[in-house]
Structure 1
Amino acid sequence: MSRSITIAKAGLPPGPKGTLIGGNISQIGPRRVDFFLDLARTYGSIASFRVGGWHLFLVSDPELIQQVLVTDARHYVKHFGARVFKPILGNGLVTSEGDFWLSQRRLMQPSFLKSLVLSYAPIMAELTTAMLSKWAPGKAVDLEFEFSGLTSAIALKTLFGLDDHGEREKVDQSLMEAIDALTARLDKTFSLPLWVPTPTNIRLRRAIANVKALVDGFIARKRSRPLANDLLSTMIMAQREDGTRMSDQQLRDEAMTLYLAGYETTALTLTWTWYLLSQHAEAERKLVDEWARVLGGRIPNADDLAALPYTSAVIHEAMRLYPPVYAIGREATTDLELGGYRVKRGYTILMSQWVSHRDPKYFPDPERFWPERWLDGLAGRLPKFAYYPFGGGQRLCIGSHFAMMEATIVLAAVGQKYKFTLAPDAVIDIKPQITMPPKYGMPATLELR
């Protein structure tokens, strides 16, 4: 059995030597994905490193990843990196554990039934059209900013039924301030508890309080009006088998989790997709040809999605090279065996999509942007955890179908009207946080198609 440790090797998997106090923290650096990739390529499919007092294994073999996320899932919890974000995400689906998580997942699953998700396509099309109406040929834009604004508006409308631009800006500003501050804590060997009144902690607590107050207001407003066709309404009405429903606090935690996951990841997928297309004219030409043939200039609806295979392939390939979430972590709650090594209770297992998606065993010429690789049934031939941009196992992203539909509709609607030319002085780099935004934005100029 996978839990047995009688056959485990003594000691840790191979890995780089670190310092006595900080371990390998100084080697990781701001582009931590490069460290992960070097680690896997140097030491193999299971390697080890240390951050302060935390022992971590980096696992990149699909079978080992499946063992962690599926076979032995009940013996792991989210790792310390995910728990850092509990002050903002509360006890939502991303951060909750055990029986409570399972109860919440079952309670929320009906909110993401295919029929309900497809009903949001007109909202996505309407808000994309509104964004396009504000654009003009020759205008300089930051693609990340533009797509973040759009997907945030879509998230607010589909989640809360809200159209207010000012409320969206307030939520986004406070949320990003909190996320940036919490992310910075991951890069430190030691951080003071949030209750210590340092200037940074005071700003962080204020940002968290602002977001929570805004979302509490959305929930109160929703409860005071007739329920509608939005996710919050379905969550308010959802009942467990014993007839109980979510409290306002749990509604807030789930809503904040869905809002963050529902806009930033899709915005980044669109941003990196257009970056890659701007560098690969032939792929862009094939996309435009598919849109002309299938759509003829109109915005796609839910019924068009199956008729856009190259569009789907482009999005899958962009998420392969620039996965919105670049790593998943689990902490062992008991002693385990993995890959022949003993995983002690408290050790963390990291699995990086950035690393797995660049494995030449499954993706020949892995750094190449080549959407065609997805057109001959590759997804069905790959091991389950060779490609997993939405995670996997029981904790597969609940909104994965929503995100794919949104990315397809927006990409086709925008791309039929405009193409993008990167600013000649643009510096393109990544800034790994929970997600992977471009470090300096994505400046480009609009050109009519």
Structure 2
Amino acid sequence: MTQSTQRRAPGPGIAAFVGNVLRHKLNFVDYLVELASRHGHLYSLPMAVPTFVIRDPADVKHLLVSNPLNYHKTGSLTVGEKLLGQGLVSSEEPLHGKERKMMQPIFHKSSIAGFGEMMAGATERHIANWKDGDHLDMAEEMMHLTISIVGLSLFSIDLYHEGRELGNEFGRAMKLVTRIQLLPPLPSWITGGIHRRYDESIAIIDAAMTKIISDRKALPQEQWPNDLLSMLLSARYEDGSPMPDKLVRDEVVTIILAGHETVANHLNWTWHLLSKHPDVHGKMAAEWNEVLGDRVPAIEDVGRLAYTSAVLAESMRLYPPAWTLARRAVGEDRLPSGMEVKPKDEFLMLQYVSHRNPDWFPDPEAFRPERFEAGNKEAIPKFAYYPFGMGPRYCIGEGFAKLEAMIAVVLIGRRFRFEMARSGRVGKETLVTLRPRKGLPMIVRKRS
């Protein structure tokens, strides 16, 4: 292969791309899957900088694990710097490594095990007044539930009453980030309105974060609970200096946003799938009766509830909450597939696309939890399915998220099933996370 052909990748022309983006605007990610089926594991997009979508597991491994320092974050995480700052999700090395080391103890398995009772209590409180026949927007309900759980578990604060408003403000900010990211280079008198709305949203979020942090600081230190916020405020660098207030704010925003948004959307898509597959719901309920009886699942039950775990894994395959990872090359490199990488090349690893690779997932659009049962999941390459990312930036909260989703599905699914309240296909909104477009209106049905 010559130097010139190594730089070439198939892909749509700009006219075809723009036309198809407009045609698929409600489900843009499905167009990206279509491009992969047409062009293969590596294709280009006609963007302002060279942009490539990669699906080959070896290439994904190379960017995320083998040579991660050559590939920095880009995309919405850089556009959204006002929102996330230099928190764990968006920072680069060496800061990222320091942050991760500092927070790791709170996400250790032994610490997560202690959150189970809190997660269960928050879930029971949330669903206590649901009745047969209620019409609910499950997208809002799950967001409210998960932001309450994050507040209680990691920051020892009850966000139940202000949780809906705060969660909605995070949602508005993420929509604005996506819109700003897609803006063409236009004069500020044209784009100023959207930037002003974004700044207003950030100001509301900052005020909430400032109150959380200042309320903790106002307490005598011996009264601080043993949680993530106390850990951040007590942290000291090598020279003995504390973490700057701005960075504490960035970490709190990042953990609240990432901690509630991804799990809420995982639950949303799971309820959507179960509404279309009541037999799967019934099979899970039989497993709960056999393994748990009437008790709440604990962290050791995640492995015992094999079918429920498979259902949750298949839900994340079809609808990965974190649906894309974007990286920009720092220096020259060469991918295992042979492509020569140049500085500033951008790469998209789209879990939504990778998880629909028919080489590893036959009939990829079908909901088949059996794919992830023992004896089947071993055939799936590690870097063909990566809903929590991989490598040094692997999601630090994976264990927390899995336990939270398991508890919510069991406690809610024991009592209720759900029917879609509107006909037609549920659209996909591609923000930083993959959300149901226009919410998820459902009808509550009491399970016998």
TM norm structure 2: 0.93
Alignment of 1:24-423 (within 5 A): 24-29=17-22, 30=25, 31-51=27-47, 53-190=48-185, 198-225=192-219, 226-240=223-237, 243-338=240-335, 339-423=337-421
Deviation at 1:82, TM superposition (A): 2.1
C-alpha distance in structure 2 between counterparts of 1:244 and 1:442, whole Å: 47
Residues 7, 79 of structure 1: alpha-carbon distance in 2 compared, 3 angstrom cutoff = same
C-alpha distance in structure 2 between counterparts of 1:119 and 1:242, whole Å: 33
Deviation at 1:106, TM superposition (A): 1.4
Residues 257, 378 of structure 1: alpha-carbon distance in 2 compared, 3 angstrom cutoff = farther
Identical columns (%): 35
Deviation at 1:167, TM superposition (A): 3.2
RMSD over aligned Cα, in angstroms? 2.1
C-alpha distance in structure 1 between counterparts of 2:318 and 2:397, whole Å: 21
- Look up the equivalent residue of 1:330 and give its one-letter code: R
Please list the CA deviations of residues 87-134 of structure 1 after superposition, one character each: whole Å capped at 9, or x if unmatched. 100011111112111121112212211111111111110010001212
C-alpha distance in structure 2 between counterparts of 1:235 and 1:6, whole Å: 52
- Look up the equivalent residue of 1:348 and give its one-letter code: E
C-alpha distance in structure 1 between counterparts of 2:375 and 2:82, whole Å: 42
- Look up the equivalent residue of 1:425 and give its one-letter code: S
| Cα pair 1:111 1:235 within 8 Å, conserved | no
Larger mean CA deviation between 301-310 and 239-248 belongs to 239-248
Residues 220, 189 of structure 1: alpha-carbon distance in 2 compared, 3 angstrom cutoff = same
Q: Which has the higher helix share?
A: 2
C-alpha distance in structure 2 between counterparts of 1:192 and 1:160, whole Å: 42
Please list the CA deviations of residues 276-295 of structure 1 after superposition, one character each: whole Å capped at 9, or x if unmatched. 11111221111010111122
For the residue of structure 1 that corresponds to 2:61, the secondary structure is helix
C-alpha distance in structure 2 between counterparts of 1:325 and 1:43, whole Å: 24
- Look up the equivalent residue of 1:345 and give its one-letter code: P
C-alpha distance in structure 2 between counterparts of 1:6 and 1:401, whole Å: 45
Residues 132, 190 of structure 1: alpha-carbon distance in 2 compared, 3 angstrom cutoff = same
C-alpha distance in structure 2 between counterparts of 1:176 and 1:11, whole Å: 38
- Look up the equivalent residue of 2:20 and give its one-letter code: Q
Deviation at 1:242, TM superposition (A): 5.0
Residues 305, 340 of structure 1: alpha-carbon distance in 2 compared, 3 angstrom cutoff = closer
For the residue of structure 2 that corresponds to 1:421, the secondary structure is strand
Residues 32, 242 of structure 1: alpha-carbon distance in 2 compared, 3 angstrom cutoff = farther
Unaligned runs of 5+ in 2: none
Residues 297, 389 of structure 1: alpha-carbon distance in 2 compared, 3 angstrom cutoff = same
C-alpha distance in structure 1 between counterparts of 2:3 and 2:379, whole Å: 31
Residues 46, 135 of structure 1: alpha-carbon distance in 2 compared, 3 angstrom cutoff = same
| Cα pair 1:92 1:257 within 8 Å, conserved | yes
Please list the CA deviations of residues 174-205 of structure 1 after superposition, one character each: whole Å capped at 9, or x if unmatched. 32221111111223333667x99822222211
Larger mean CA deviation between 293-302 and 392-401 belongs to 293-302
C-alpha distance in structure 2 between counterparts of 1:397 and 1:204, whole Å: 27
Deviation at 1:377, TM superposition (A): 4.1
C-alpha distance in structure 1 between counterparts of 2:356 and 2:71, whole Å: 26
Count of residues paired in the alignment:
440
Matched, 1:12 2:3: no
- Look up the equivalent residue of 1:422 and give its one-letter code: M
